[in-house]
Chains A and B, each alone.
Chain A
Amino acid sequence: MPELPDRKVGIVACCGEEIAEGTVSRLATLKVLHDLRPDDTVTICLPLFVAGDAGECAFARVHPTIAVDGCDLRCAARATEALSGKPAASLVVSAVVAEQGLAKPEGRRRLDDAGKAAVEATATRLAALVDALAAAGDAGRAAESAMSAVQPQARNVACACGRGGTPAKASGVA
Chain B
Amino acid sequence: MSADGQKVAVAPCSGIGKPFGTVAREAAYELCETVCPADTVLVALGKLVLGDAAARETVSRNPVVTIDGCQRMCAAKTVKRNRGAVLHEVMVLDVFRRHRDLKPEGIAELNKAGEELARVLAGEVATIVPELKAAVAKGACHA
Interface residues of A, Cβ cutoff 8 Å to B: 13-19, 22, 26-27, 29-31, 34, 43-52, 73, 75-76, 78-79, 82-83, 108-109
Contacts and interface: CB of A to CB of B under 8 A. Distances in A.
Interface residues of B, number: 31
Contact of B45 (A47, A52, A82): A47
B74 to A, nearest CB: 4
A27 B46 contact: no
A19 B44 CA distance: 9
Contacts of B74: 45, 47-48, 50-52
Given A18-B44, A51-B72, A52-B72, A109 B33 contact: yes
Given A16-B44, A46-B46, A73-B47, A26 B16 contact: yes
B18 to A, nearest CB: 9
A49 B49 contact: yes
A-B complex: 6 closest residue pairs judged by Cβ atoms: A47-B74, A15-B14, A51-B77, A75-B46, A51-B74, A109-B29
8 contacts: A15-B14, A17-B45, A30-B107, A47-B48, A51-B78, A73-B47, A73-B52, A109-B33
A79 B44 contact: no
Interface of B: 12-17, 21, 25-26, 28-29, 33, 42-50, 52, 72-75, 77-78, 81, 107-108
A34 B16 CA distance: 12
Contacts of A13: 16
Contact of A18 (B13, B21, B26, B42): B42
B50 A45 contact: no
A75 B72 contact: no
A72 B48 CA distance: 15
A46 to B, nearest CB: 5
Contacts of B15: 45
Contacts of B28: 17
B46 A47 contact: yes
B17 A45 contact: yes
B16 A47 contact: no
A47 B52 CA distance: 13
A17 B44 CA distance: 5
Contacts of B45: 15, 17, 46-47
